[in-house]
Chain A
Amino acid sequence: MDPVLIGLTVFVILGSLAALEMKSLLSAVIAIGVVGLGLSIVFLLLGAPDIAITQVVVEVIVVTVLIRAAARVPEETPTLRASRARTFAGAGVALIAVGLLAAAFQTLPAFGSQRFAPALWYLENAPDLTGATNVVTAILLDFRAYDTLGEATVILTAVVGALAVLRRPERPKEGSHV
């Protein structure tokens, strides 16, 4: 197993802990940016350059928006301490979830040992059937094009939702009797 991969993943975990525990909101947002960019390098090492590129672009947009949001709200974090009981209960639930997941992962084939059956079919046939050399885009835009259409729909819905939420409330017009 690659020690670089393990080191980077541990770095991502530490970054996300820092993002949650930082007092300053702006520092927390920057820590979440570190998490996303570290993760994109992990993706690159795991043989997924398409994902790495997308992750970088998305992370830049998300961090920009979060910085705008963090600058607009006051720093009330110091007064927002969770009670000790709640911290322990939350950490306990998270630990139980991690334990259950780790137990479930024991049943999986070992990391890096095998691929799932559909992978071989796609790798063998996708380049010839679609003419695309990149199998990921071949699946994304040919075999699963409706998936991508659905993705575009979700993005549109999210944009419409955000606009509806952020719209300034309309003042009632003079003379109207609503």
Chain B
Amino acid sequence: MMMYALAAVLLGVGLYGLLVKRHLLKKVLGLLIVEHAVNLFLIQLGYIDGGIAPIRTAGEEAAAFVGNAVDPLPQVLVLTSIVIGLGLAMLMVALTLRIYQRYGSLDADRMSELKG
């Protein structure tokens, strides 16, 4: 429970950055933190006490492996999510730089007043 709560706090920190910060790059950082928090929570969900990585070494008993290994499924999904997060970060940074070139500012509040 404690560990899950820490992931929730990390998500809260990212959400705070997204909502409060006016600098667009800071908002990007906030979204990255939220992403990290969700990944952390999913990995925590698959953990068991004393768990080993789900890699079966040569000569390891199948029963012992099944009994001790952590859940591999969340790991697979988080692997996909991390790589997609990379693509997302690239796109966000590209858009941020473009916005700066166009408006000469990175203030999200001024951005919403500008038209065209």
Residues of A within 8 A of B (CB): 1, 5-6, 9-10, 12-13, 16-17, 19-20, 25, 28-29, 32, 35-36, 39, 42-43, 46-51, 54-55, 58, 61-62, 65-66, 69-70, 72-73, 76-77, 80-82, 86-87, 89-91, 93-95, 97-98, 101-102, 105-106, 108, 110-116, 118-120, 122-124, 126-127, 133-136, 139-140, 144, 147-148, 151, 154-155, 157-159, 161-162, 165-166
Q: Do B32 and A159 touch across chains, with their CB atoms under 8 A apart?
A: no
Tell whether A47 pairs with B52 under 8 Å between CB atoms, given A62-B32, A82-B20, A116-B73.
Answer: yes
List chain B residues, Cβ under 8 A from A62.
32, 86, 89
A-B pairs with beta carbons under 8 A, tally: 270
For the complex with contacts A102-B8, A112-B51, A158-B87, 12 further pairs of A-B residues with Cβ separation under 8 Å are A5-B3, A48-B75, A58-B83, A80-B106, A90-B15, A111-B1, A112-B3, A116-B73, A123-B65, A133-B57, A134-B56, A147-B77
Q: Chain B: residues with CB nearer than 8 A to chain A? A: 1-17, 19-23, 25-26, 28-30, 32-33, 36, 39-40, 43-49, 51-58, 62, 65-66, 69-73, 75-80, 82-91, 93-98, 100, 105-107
Contact A94 B91 (CB under 8 A): no
A102 to B4, CA, bound (A): 8
B10-A12 in contact (CB<8A): yes
On whether A139 and B26 interact (CB within 8 A), knowing A47-B53, A54-B79, A93-B15, the answer reads: no
